Amino acid sequence: MTYIRKPKFQHPQLETNELGLTRRDYEGTLTTLCGGCGHDSISAAIIQAAAEMSLEPHRIAKLSGIGCSSKIPSYFLGKAHAFNAVHGRMPSVATGANLANKELYYLGISGDGDSASIGLGQFCHIVRRRINMLYIVANNGTYGLTKGQLSATADLGSKTKSGEESLYDNIDLASLAIELGASFVARSFSGDKKQLVPLIQAGLSHKGFAFIDVVSPCVTFNNTDLSTHGYKNTWENNAALSQVDFVPMREEITTSYAEGEEKDITLHDGSVIHLHKIGNNYDPFDKEKAVMHINQHKAEGRIATGLLYINQTTSDLHDLTNTIDRPFNVLGEQELCPGNSTLMEINEAFR
Amino acid sequence: MNSPAGAKIETLTKVNDFVVKFANVNGSGSASANTLFAKAIFRMGIPVSPHNIFPSNIQGLPTWYEVRISEKGYLGRREGVDLMIAMNEQTIQKDIDSVVSGGYVLYDSTKSLPEQMAREDVQFLPIPLTEICIREFEKPSQRQLFKNIIYVGALAALINIDFDVLTGLISDQFRGKEKLIPPNIHALQLGYQFASEHFQCPLRLTLKSSDKTDSQILMDGNTAVGLGCVYGGATVASWYPLTPSTSVVDAFGRYCQRLRIDKQTGQQKFSVVQAEDELAAIGIAIGAGWNGARAFTATSGPGISLMQEFLGLAYFSEIPVVLFNIQRVGPSTGMPTRTQQGDLLSCAYASHGDTKHILLFPSTPKECFDFAASAFDIADQIQTPVIVMSDLELGMNEQISEPLEWQEGRAYDRGKVLNHEQLEGLEHFGRYQDSDGDGIPYRTYPGTHPDKGSYFTRGSSHDANAAYTEDGDVYAEVMDRIAKKFDTALDYLPEPEIRENGAAIGLLYLGTTTSAIAEAQDLLTKQGVATDTLRVKSFPFHQSVRTFIDRHEKVYVIDQNRDAQLKSLLKIELNVNESQVQSIRSYNGVLITAEHISRSVLDSQENAGE
């Protein structure tokens, strides 16, 4: 039950981060999702990511839509404000929230029904508007809460537990995000924490719109061998482009990689992404190649995961519209109201 | 054509009391000439109210500009036209027919009028406008545009518009583009000269300078709303273009560019987002409101329909947001460029489930400004959406109004928001806890305190601590508390304006109906029917609305919609008995007239007497 708080009991030697906080300080309430749900692994990855980065939990605003995915903000960062909006409309709420206060971290959690069907329009437009946030889609190819209908991300021919087969091509949110101008696009798998945690950390540090499509199996309705969003298929066909390590700006870089096999990407806040390449030289700075790469893998029945695309030099909506440095929500009448004498002048123009 | 020689026309003699109507083709540049005409009369100190009756079209369809001139200050529409400027061949027959007996028709006589259009009881004023333009101006665009200015010049001679006022307006209009001033003045002179030479000037419709508009302004309601948002501290405007609400955000953006740019850095203290649709528009405003910025959106009927789900979320999760509904004719696409008060019910109870929303009903630009600014305070105080209900008539037409005013030192009331220090001293924070017994809980902005004050905002059922619940009793408690909030809201909402003189009959109305009331009362008084009035300024209704109805034998509730929506609201909210109220309705897309109101009252009185 979401309203059952976790016991405060904790191991006395639990590791603390730079803020003196333990992982427990980044947790939320007990999950109400099915045992084994991929979404719980995403919650755990977010907790680990934020704790390792020593983020202040209350400086993060969690936003979600409707669906199993959108419930998970309850299960992590209990000290942060959260907003569970209407179905498919989290992007607009996130846009407004971000406009009101540019100083917080914004973490959006959505699902495939929420972002690829009812909210596809809003998803496209938040990407275009370059809202500075990390937007995660917990993608299981199915509508869990309504008991297992196919979603728009289900691959052609994929079958649900009830045997319903997808007759249509899927919508690939990662390709779409790249095409629409997202400046950080990754795909991962809820079962691959080693890959997912640094991606989340990098996405939070990235300035601009960061998107991670996380394949997150629905154990109850869409986890058969015939489902392309099930554990079996995802494990077998996960094609990681690169191993990603994230180094927050405060840490010294100690690991070294062999020349030619790694790439350092410095983010806006000074933190660094180490890309440790696996296989072919993949260039995450090339939009066209990124989309091609995704499509090629798809044609082979494989899932391209890792950091697919990044442009760490872009601006966000606040830069584009040249808003003042202070958050709007601290401005009062002194800063905002032009006063009566100005109004008298305005009246004059209407005489 | 001229009136047949020898025909005796009984012309009316009217000073500062007549209706001039311009029939034009949309996109022909007539708007600025017609505005010039109305503004000149305003500057002469004479009360004037122009009404655009325009098509949903960019170029080619008929458009009218109807100007009521009234020394007495009757600013509503009046039936019948005294002087028609018939510039549109598509509609000329109907336009001539609409002129009252003894009136005038000014037309472009470059082409002669067909015989069948003649009327013996009106006087025709033929001016070869096209011919003059071809002779005097070289560029085709000038030939088109100056036709309009020439007829304004002719009108100056015909009805005694102060020529200096006209030239003064031209100079004001083209400040910074001075080389446009001489040709415009030349065009005015051409018309003036032609009329002086060919007609007996002035006509029996004449203007006489007065002092009735001295301190006032002539402004459209949407401009006043936009300014109200600037003064009220709005920083986020999200919107989707929709007639007739578009000019609200236009005005806000324009004044922000002037008044909300940080002097040192050149950075903006506002953000205007053109959203992908109305759902996103209200979503953005709600997100910003949740996070502590004052935010609004502006729309009209179709947008209201799309925003329903989000309005329910803001109601139930108690988020301040301001919405301007510039009503137009529904249902569905309806008549996008015509006026109606057709969204009262769909706004009062917008969204599924038990909901209710605060509505404000301005009737002048001054009130548009005041209510817009106050709406942000009220939304913050009550933590709920506030919908300001204007309409196309008020929003898009210039209206005579008291000047706008801002009380120096007025502070924004952000309602019950806890800051870091307050949270520090608090043992327990419950977002939806009714600590003060007024139904209004305390809220916090994200990021305020490391350990205290965070909560989970949701549209699903929640308890006093904002935690999810499916406990029916807890749900009902929250719903009851929210209902209580709306009782508290009455203390923050503008009271109705009541004018009472002990009459047995009352007129009850809101918004733009106001413009017809004083005149309707005078018409009724002439027929021996005295009336009291009550103008509703907000919803939910104050108890004084109910007692006003109870004090009168019969109250006529005036609605500019088919289904008597205001009357329905009174019955739902105040338990008003059907026998106490009678409906007067007007829903033809143009502003209700005083004649319609007085006729309806008289008919009903007669029927009752039979």
Q: What is the C-alpha R_g of chain B?
A: 27
Shortest alpha-carbon distance between residue B64 and chain A (Å): 23
pLDDT by residue (tens digit) across B127-146? 999 999 999 999 998 999 99
Q: Calculate the CA dihedral of residues A69, A74, A76, A82 and round it to 10 degrees.
A: 100
pLDDT at A13 (0 to 100) = 81
Q: Smallest Cα–Cα separation from B361: which of B242, B259, B219, B508?
A: B508
pLDDT for residue B584 is more than 70 = yes
Spell out the residues 6+ positions from residue B157 whose beta carbon is closer than 8 angstroms to its own: B191, B192, B193, B195, B196, B199, B201, B202
Q: Count the alpha carbons within 13 Å of B465 in the hemisphere toward its beta carbon.
A: 10
B212 vs B603: CA distance, rounded Å: 34
CATH 3.40.50.970 given to domain A23-330: yes
Shortest alpha-carbon distance between residue A226 and chain B (Å): 35
pLDDT at B485 (0 to 100) = 98
Domains B219-401 and B497-609 share a fold: yes
Q: Smallest Cα–Cα separation from A241: which of A173, A182, A310, A176?
A: A310
Nearest CB partner across the interface for A329, out of B227, B291, B454: B291
Beta strands A238-240 and A303-310 are: parallel
Mean pLDDT, range A172-194, rounded to an integer:
96
Q: What is the 3-class SS of B450-486, one letter each residue?
A: CCCCCCEEECCCECCCCCECCCHHHHHHHHHHHHHHH
pLDDT by residue (tens digit) across B398-411? 999 999 999 999 99
B14-206 is classed in which CATH architecture?
A: 3-Layer(aba) Sandwich (3.40)
pLDDT by residue (tens digit) across B26-43? 988 899 999 999 999 999
A218 vs A148: CA distance, rounded Å: 9
pLDDT at A274 (0 to 100) = 83
Which residues are paired to B17 by β-bridges?
B70
pLDDT for residue A255 is more than 60 = no
Chain A contact set for B403 (CB, 8 A): 344, 347
Nearest CB partner across the interface for B235, out of A91, A317, A336: A336
Chain A contact set for B424 (CB, 8 A): none
Shortest alpha-carbon distance between residue B497 and chain A (Å): 25
The pLDDT-based confidence of A291 (bands split at 50, 70, 90) is very high
Chain B contact set for A95 (CB, 8 A): 238, 273, 280, 283-284, 287
Q: Say if B457 is an interface residue toward chain A (CB within 8 Å).
A: yes
Q: Say if B610 is an interface residue toward chain A (CB within 8 Å).
A: no
Collapse the DSSP code of B196 into the 3-class scheme (helix H, G, I; strand E, B; otherwise coil) and give the result.
helix
CA distances from A293 to A215, A262, A296 (A): 17, 19, 5
Q: Which residue has the tokens 């054509």?
A: B1
Q: What percent of chain B has pLDDT over 90?
A: 94
Measured between CA atoms, the residue of chain A closest to residue B456 is A82
pLDDT for residue B6 is more than 60 = no
Determine whether the interchain pair B280/A86 forms a contact, defined as Cβ–Cβ distance below 8 Å.
no
The pLDDT-based confidence of A222 (bands split at 50, 70, 90) is very high
pLDDT at B58 (0 to 100) = 86
Collapse the DSSP code of A209 into the 3-class scheme (helix H, G, I; strand E, B; otherwise coil) and give the result.
strand
Q: Smallest Cα–Cα separation from A38: which of A145, A192, A210?
A: A192
pLDDT by residue (tens digit) across B506-525? 999 999 999 999 999 999 99
User: Contact at 8 Å (CB) between B86 and B36?
Assistant: no
Nearest CB partner across the interface for B456, out of A58, A84, A103: A84
pLDDT at A241 (0 to 100) = 79
Q: What is the C-alpha R_g of chain A?
A: 21
Residue to test with chain B: of A328, A340, A347, most B Cβ within 10 A: A328
Q: What is the CATH number of domain B497-609?
A: 3.40.50.920
Determine whether the interchain pair B457/A78 forms a contact, defined as Cβ–Cβ distance below 8 Å.
no
∠ Cα B222 B226 B229 (to 5°): 135
Spell out the residues 6+ positions from residue A6 whose beta carbon is closer than 8 angstroms to its own: A24, A27, A28, A29, A30
pLDDT at B3 (0 to 100) = 45
Beta strands B358-360 and B538-539 are: antiparallel
pLDDT at A261 (0 to 100) = 64
Q: Say if B572 is an interface residue toward chain A (CB within 8 Å).
A: no
Determine whether the interchain pair A328/B279 forms a contact, defined as Cβ–Cβ distance below 8 Å.
no
A134: part of which helix (H) or strand (E)? Answer: strand A133-139
Determine whether the interchain pair B456/A74 forms a contact, defined as Cβ–Cβ distance below 8 Å.
yes
pLDDT at A223 (0 to 100) = 93
pLDDT by residue (tens digit) across B560-571? 999 999 999 999
pLDDT by residue (tens digit) across A49-73? 999 999 999 999 999 999 999 999 9
Determine whether the interchain pair A122/B262 forms a contact, defined as Cβ–Cβ distance below 8 Å.
no
ipTM: 0.95
Determine whether the interchain pair B446/A332 forms a contact, defined as Cβ–Cβ distance below 8 Å.
no
Collapse the DSSP code of B102 into the 3-class scheme (helix H, G, I; strand E, B; otherwise coil) and give the result.
strand
Determine whether the interchain pair B283/A93 forms a contact, defined as Cβ–Cβ distance below 8 Å.
yes
Chain B contact set for A343 (CB, 8 A): 227, 231, 404-406
Nearest CB partner across the interface for A95, out of B267, B284, B448: B284
Which pair of structure tokens corresponds to residue B553? Answer: 């034998």
A98 vs A133: CA distance, rounded Å: 8
Determine whether the interchain pair A333/B412 forms a contact, defined as Cβ–Cβ distance below 8 Å.
yes
User: Contact at 8 Å (CB) between B313 and B283?
Assistant: no
pLDDT by residue (tens digit) across A298-324? 999 999 999 999 998 889 999 999 999
- Alpha helices, DSSP H only, in chain A? 38-52, 68-71, 90-100, 112, 120-129, 173-179, 193-205, 231-237, 287-299, 317-321, 333-336, 340-348
Nearest CB partner across the interface for A321, out of B259, B268, B276: B268
Collapse the DSSP code of A329 into the 3-class scheme (helix H, G, I; strand E, B; otherwise coil) and give the result.
helix
DSSP assignment letter at A271:
-
pLDDT at A313 (0 to 100) = 84
A345 vs A347: CA distance, rounded Å: 5
| Residue B271 one-letter amino acid | S
Q: The domain B219-401 is classified under which CATH number: 3.40.50.12780, 3.40.50.970, 1.10.10.10, 3.40.718.10?
A: 3.40.50.970
- Alpha helices, DSSP H only, in B260-396? 278-290, 301-317, 344-348, 365-382, 392-396
Q: What is the mean pLDDT of chain B?
A: 96
pLDDT by residue (tens digit) across B176-213? 999 999 999 999 999 999 999 999 999 999 999 999 99
pLDDT at A280 (0 to 100) = 63
Residue spans of the domains in chain A: they are: 23-330
Q: Count the alpha carbons within 13 Å of A56 in the hemisphere toward its beta carbon.
A: 12
pLDDT at A269 (0 to 100) = 85
pLDDT for residue B579 is more than 90 = yes
DSSP assignment letter at B425:
T
Please report the DSSP string for A100-133 in residue order.
Answer: H-TTSEEEEEEEHIIIIITTHHHHHHHHHHT-SE
Q: Smallest Cα–Cα separation from A59: which of A79, A39, A73, A76?
A: A79
User: Contact at 8 Å (CB) between B399 and B218?
Assistant: yes
B14 vs B68: CA distance, rounded Å: 13
User: Contact at 8 Å (CB) between A134 and A102?
Assistant: no
pLDDT at A11 (0 to 100) = 76
B:319-338 residues touching chain A, CB 8 A cutoff: none
Interface size between A and B, measured as CB pairs under 8 A: 233
Q: What is the mean pLDDT of chain A?
A: 91
Q: Say if B400 is an interface residue toward chain A (CB within 8 Å).
A: no
Determine whether the interchain pair A340/B403 forms a contact, defined as Cβ–Cβ distance below 8 Å.
no
Determine whether the interchain pair A329/B445 forms a contact, defined as Cβ–Cβ distance below 8 Å.
yes
User: Contact at 8 Å (CB) between B228 and B199?
Assistant: no
A291 vs B207: CA distance, rounded Å: 72
Determine whether the interchain pair B460/A84 forms a contact, defined as Cβ–Cβ distance below 8 Å.
yes
| Residue A288 one-letter amino acid | E
Measured between CA atoms, the residue of chain B closest to residue A77 is B454
Phi and psi at residue B431, in whole multiples of 5°?
-55, -35
B289 vs B309: CA distance, rounded Å: 17
A136 vs A70: CA distance, rounded Å: 10
Residue spans of the domains in chain B: they are: 14-206, 219-401, 420-492, 497-609
Chain A contact set for B447 (CB, 8 A): 58-59, 61, 81, 101, 103-104
Shortest alpha-carbon distance between residue A271 and chain B (Å): 23
Chain A contact set for B42 (CB, 8 A): 351
Collapse the DSSP code of A277 into the 3-class scheme (helix H, G, I; strand E, B; otherwise coil) and give the result.
strand
Measured between CA atoms, the residue of chain A closest to residue B216 is A351
B171 vs B41: CA distance, rounded Å: 16
